[in-house]
Every structure is written in C-alpha cells, then in structure tokens.
C-alpha cells in the first residue's frame, strides 16, 4: 500500500500547531495544493508560499497563532482524517456531516474537484470525505455526539449501532446507564459519544 499523502500533511500541520511552530513545510502535489487553498480561504492558516529545493516543490504554510493582552491565546487546530486508502468513506450531499454546527469544515473529493461541505451542498454533489477540520480555543480533544439505532445487543454491555449517516459502529454502555443497570435493546435510539483520538 502506498503512502497516504493527506494523512501525512494532516499529521505535519497538527504536530507543528501543537509545538507552536510558526511554519510547516509539506510536499506539493495537486491534492495538497487544493486542500491548502481551502485552509487559507477558510482562515485556518495565515499564509502559504511555494518553495523549490533540488527540483522538488514544497508548500510552506504559516500557521495562525492569536494573541491577546495576557499573552498567547492558544487555539488548537484539529484535523481528522476520515477516508483512508484501506477504507474509503463516501457520502451524498444530503448526508455530509456538519462539524460543530458549521464552525468546522469537511473537505471532500468530488467529481468537480476538492471542495468544502458547504460548497458540495450548494452544488448538490457528494463525494469522498477526506477530512474534518475545526478550531476550538484551549481544547486538545473534542467529543463528537452521533445518533443512531441499535441493531444488535452484544455481551459485556456492548452493542452494534447504525448511525444516521448509515455507518455501523460498536458502542458500549458507561456512566449512569451502566451504574443504574438500564437495559438497551435492539430498536432503541441512542446517542454515542466519540472522541477524535
């Protein structure tokens, strides 16, 4: 299996942001250039320039670090790879997820090129979900809440859930529900909490 270029650039940007680096250098390809254009347009990065070194082209991204009177105002740039070479995830335009009620974006690869979820909905086209991107101040981890229908109960408080976007996942009972011995049966609608790690 070849390298996952999108996962590589996501990891590079995330690591540079966590280390408070001002710039990060990534390989320049058609797909990385299109993704970086979206990051720049949506305000997730401050600047980008193309750099050539021994017949190879690189993109040098300037990351955004806000300041206030008390010093650095830390924002964590969160990037999550969704579709992977071994497991492609596709969605039609009606089922594209909304990240934090529109505060984040979904980047898709469509028949009309790389675009955001908002553009895909306007164009009424679906595609491959490449990644989620969002920024929240002072948070390293964001919890995602999904809703779905239980299709099967499994041993040890586990169950299989069909999410509203038609994905199937495994869930488990925890917290008050587990302590109160509340039974969850096939056909019940549930909310599933998922971290971005």
Distances in whole angstroms, Cα of residue 194 to Cα of each of 5, 12, 142, 169, 175? 25, 23, 9, 11, 14
Q: What is the pLDDT of residues 70-121, one digit of tens each?
A: 544 455 678 899 998 888 999 999 999 988 777 789 999 999 999 999 999 9
Helix (H) or strand (E) holding 92: none
Contact 160, 150 (CB under 8 A): yes
Report d(CA 75, CA 98) in Å as an integer: 20
- What is the side-by-side strand order in the sheet with 168-172? 168-172, 158-163, 143-154, 189-195
Q: What is the pLDDT of residues 12-70, one digit of tens each?
A: 988 888 888 889 999 999 999 999 999 989 888 889 999 888 889 999 999 876 544 45
Q: How confident is the model at residue 139 (pLDDT cuts 50, 70, 90)?
A: very low
Q: Provide the greatest CA pair distance for the chain.
A: 65
DSSP single-letter state for residue 93: G
Q: How confident is the model at residue 4 (pLDDT cuts 50, 70, 90)?
A: confident
Between 98 and 3, residue with greater pLDDT:
98
């Amino acid at each position: 299996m070849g390298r996952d270029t999108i996962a590589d650039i996501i990891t590079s940007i995330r690591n540079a942001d966590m280390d408070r680096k001002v710039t990060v250098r990534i390989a320049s390809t058609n797909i990385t250039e299109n993704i970086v254009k979206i990051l720049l347009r949506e305000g997730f990065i401050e600047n980008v320039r193309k750099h050539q070194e021994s017949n190879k082209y690189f993109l040098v991204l300037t990351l955004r670090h806000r300041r206030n009177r008390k010093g650095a105002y830390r924002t964590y740039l969160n990037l999550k790879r969704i579709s992977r070479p071994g497991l492609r995830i596709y969605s039609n335009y009606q089922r594209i997820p909304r990240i934090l009620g529109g505060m984040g974006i979904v980047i898709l690869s469509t028949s009309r090129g790389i675009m955001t979820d908002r553009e895909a909905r306007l164009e009424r086209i679906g595609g491959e979900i490449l990644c989620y991107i969002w920024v929240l101040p002072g948070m390293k981890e964001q919890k995602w809440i999904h809703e779905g229908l239980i299709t099967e109960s499994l041993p040890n408080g586990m169950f299989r859930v069909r999410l509203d976007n038609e994905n199937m996942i495994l869930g488990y009972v925890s917290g008050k529900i587990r302590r109160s011995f509340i039974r969850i049966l096939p056909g019940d609608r549930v909310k599933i909490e998922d971290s971005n790690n």
